[in-house]
A = this chain, B = another copy of it.
Amino acid sequence: MGHDHVATPEEPLAERLRARGLRLTAQRRRVLAAVTALEHATPDSIGARLREEAGPDGPAPDTSTVYRNLELLERLGLVWHTHLGKGAPVYHVAEHPHLHVVCSSCGDVSSVDPGILDGAAERLAAEHGFTVDVGHVALTGACRACRQRSESS
């Protein structure tokens, strides 16, 4: 402490790129920063944010670059993605694994302690030899608000 550390994991990015002979580009930094800043980042929302940050004139990374770099960042182990229903891959930084919980009525997404799955994970490992990837899990269902709304019908 005392150092002016940036919140974004820039050093890991630089290191891991170098380790593979890949290059640290402005676009890669920006995409990672966007995923870090956004809570439930979709390729679209990331693109939008980058366009905002760049202003109406400044150049923002191309959509294809966003996709390519999200894939790369995931290979580097810096971000993870989950599918929350239809065509919406959601990216988040890999640091703290979340478990995503999605309400199918209102679409609300919240993050939950992954420990909640420990029991299920153990049983799957024991009974099926399957190792659950907790960071990628999305649970669908009804949130409190929507549940009450439908109960009163």
Contact check: which of B89, B128, B140 meets A110 at CB < 8 Å? B128
Q: Determine whether the beta carbon of A112 is less than 8 Å from that of B128.
A: yes
Interface size in chain A (residues, C-beta < 8 A) = 32
In the complex, the answer to whether B130 meets A141 with C-beta atoms within 8 Å is yes
Segment from A22-30, A42-50, A56-64, A80-88 that makes contact with B: A80-88
A131 within 8 A of B: yes
> In the bound complex, how far is the Cα of B103 from the Cα of A116, in angstroms?
21
Interface residue? A79 (CB, 8 A):
no
A37: min CB distance to chain B, Å: 25
Within 8 A of B (CB), among A95-153: 101, 103-104, 110, 112, 116-117, 119-120, 123-124, 128-133, 136-144, 147
Given contacts A83-B85, A120-B117, contact A132 B140 (CB under 8 A): yes
A interface majority secondary structure: mixed
Residues of B within 8 A of A112 (CB): 124, 128
Given A110-B128, A120-B116: A104 and B142 within 8 A (CB)? no
* Minimum Cβ distance to chain B for residue A123 (Å): 5
Task: Assess the A142–B130 pair: CB atoms within 8 A.
Answer: yes
Question: What are the residues of chain B within 8 A of A138 when measuring CB–CB?
Answer: 138
Q: Which 4 A-B pairs have the closest CB atoms?
A: A129-B144, A119-B119, A136-B140, A132-B141
Residues of A within 8 A of B (CB): 83, 85-87, 89, 101, 103-104, 110, 112, 116-117, 119-120, 123-124, 128-133, 136-144, 147
